Amino acid sequence: MSLIVQKYGGTSVGDPERIRNVARRILETHAAGNQVVAVVSAMAGETNRLIQIAAKVTGEGKEPTEREMDVLLATGEQTTIALTAMAINAMGGTAVSLTGAQAGIETDGVHTKARISNITPSEVHRLLDEGNIVILAGFQGRTAEGRITTLGRGGSDLTAIAMAAAVDADLCQIFTDVDGVYTCDPRVVPDARKLDEIAYDELLEMASSGSKVMQSRSVEFAKKFGVRFEVRSSLNTNPGTLVREETMSMESVVIRGVSLERDQAKVTITGVGDLPGTASRIFGPVAEANVIIDMIVQNVSKTGITDISFTVNKADLARAEAALKPVLAELGEGVALEAEDGIAKLSVVGIGMRSHAGVAAQMFETLAKAGVNIQMISTSEIKIAVTVAESEIETAAKAVHEAFGLAGG
């Protein structure tokens, strides 16, 4: 008998008929002689709806208390586990729902983006051994003191991967509303192709540069603990994408995929001295304000005066500006801050890049031909990322996807 962990995302459980579809699929897997733990997300749109209500009751300019935010958000998944278990039971199966806390998922106390510190799956095993199907709430856990926590947006992916590791599952399947991981978001590039396989590092780079098909922390976790998993559709039986450690043959593909991330903003501090300590005086306060910085570019100075630019999420721009205002005067006379939003990031990712020259040149040439201006550039061993005007991101993504020969046949 195999132990299978499945995860069904928000769209897959988005309405009663979809929940019944998921219930049927779980029952089929169980009837084939497997033990099943099925992780479910909140119904599509529910988490956003809860966030909006919280904002309304809290009032403009105020942040909801994070402890209560987690109590609220966890209800989205709690609703779905009950409904999915009910649907299975009504179809003649035996399913039991568990919240993250009941399933032994322990986290640190960082509300709304908690990290899993430990999983004690004894209750999950007990229920499985009694012949039950276990329906587990994604995206949530509890602290050692018993406070409810959530694992960051998209966190049901992490629940599934972490539980698969904890129970040493034979198979981990992430069911979603597309057939697998594509060469680019198929909603943006319609001729994107489904990948048969992808290395952890590639999916990690794609996920953290905007491909929201998997939560990046869940891929990080899978890589760390060697959890192979497949991403596939909950709406058909097409084979999906296998996510795994890299193999020699994967190196022959130079670019695996293209990612895009909208809603970025750029901050430029002009006229700063090219002196030791300048960067730390700028980025220290930004970090203290809990703003995550993505790309950083500092120009080479000829005159001892330089500009430093960096990008942040648009939602964090006001906080970054507020944190920097007091620092500007300290940085010297003539130092100014310029901020602009309406920026997006385009990345090409592939482990084959390590052994191939000319990828950056090809990307830049393609963007030039498409008339897209590159604002900033950053690279890693397996990724080249540029920022462009958000209004041009789709044109840019399509052109680069085409130029690297990624389109489906």
From 49-57, 151-159, 287-295, 336-344, span contacting ligand ASP (CB under 6 A): 151-159
Instruction: Identify the CA nearest to 71 among candidates 141, 162, 159.
Output: 141
Told to check if 42 binds ligand ASP by CB under 6 A, we report yes
Told to check if 47 binds ligand ASP by CB under 6 A, we report yes
| Residue 182 contact partner, candidates Mg ion, ligand ASP, ligand ADP, none, CB within 5 to 8 A by sort of partner | ligand ADP
C-beta of 128 vs 214, nearer to ligand ADP: 214
Strand partners, 233: 176
With CB under 5 A as the contact rule, the residue among 14, 104, 138, 154 that binds Mg ion is 154
Residue 203 CA to residue 211 CA, distance in Å, equals: 8
| Residue 42 contact partner, candidates ligand ASP, ligand ADP, Mg ion, none, CB within 5 to 8 A by sort of partner | ligand ASP
C-beta of 93 vs 154, nearer to ligand ADP: 154
Please, are residues 388 and 363 in contact by the beta-carbon 8 Å criterion? no
With CB under 6 A as the contact rule, the residue among 6, 41, 132, 366 that binds ligand ASP is 41
User: Least distance in Å: CB of 150 to ligand ADP?
Assistant: 15
User: Least distance in Å: CB of 97 to ligand ASP?
Assistant: 16
Told to check if 14 binds Mg ion by CB under 5 A, we report no
- Say which residues have a Cβ less than 8 Å from residue 190's Cβ, sequence separation at least 6: none
Percentages helix, strand, coil for the chain (3-state, rounded to 5) are 40, 25, 35
| Residue 185 contact partner, candidates Mg ion, ligand ADP, ligand ASP, none, CB within 5 to 8 A by sort of partner | ligand ADP
- Say which residues have a Cβ less than 8 Å from residue 370's Cβ, sequence separation at least 6: 395, 396, 399
Told to check if 14 binds ligand ASP by CB under 6 A, we report no
User: Least distance in Å: CB of 113 to ligand ASP?
Assistant: 11
Instruction: Identify the CA nearest to 212 among candidates 250, 259, 273, 279.
Output: 259
From 105-113, 155-163, 189-197, 259-267, span contacting ligand ASP (CB under 6 A): 155-163
Binding site for ligand ADP (CB under 6 A): 9-12, 41, 154, 176-178, 181-182, 184-185, 187, 211-213, 257
C-beta of 9 vs 350, nearer to ligand ASP: 9
Told to check if 153 binds ligand ASP by CB under 6 A, we report yes
| Residue 257 contact partner, candidates Mg ion, ligand ASP, ligand ADP, none, CB within 5 to 8 A by sort of partner | ligand ADP
Residue 115 CA to residue 399 CA, distance in Å, equals: 38
Residues 53-82 close enough to bind ligand ASP by CB under 6 A: 76
User: Least distance in Å: CB of 10 to Mg ion?
Assistant: 7
Instruction: Identify the CA nearest to 117 among candidates 80, 78, 152, 151.
Output: 151
Residue 206 CA to residue 204 CA, distance in Å, equals: 5
Residue 144 CA to residue 287 CA, distance in Å, equals: 28
From 118-126, 154-162, 186-194, 316-324, span contacting ligand ASP (CB under 6 A): 154-162
Element (H, E) at 22: helix 16-31
| Residue 141 contact partner, candidates ligand ASP, Mg ion, ligand ADP, none, CB within 5 to 8 A by sort of partner | none
Cβ atoms < 10 Å from Cβ of 186: 16
CA distances to 59, 89, 377 from 54, in Å: 9, 33, 38
| Residue 218 contact partner, candidates Mg ion, ligand ADP, ligand ASP, none, CB within 5 to 8 A by sort of partner | none
- Say which residues have a Cβ less than 8 Å from residue 275's Cβ, sequence separation at least 6: none
Please, are residues 105 and 119 in contact by the beta-carbon 8 Å criterion? yes
Residues that bind ligand ASP (CB under 6 A): 9-10, 41-42, 47, 76, 138-139, 153-157
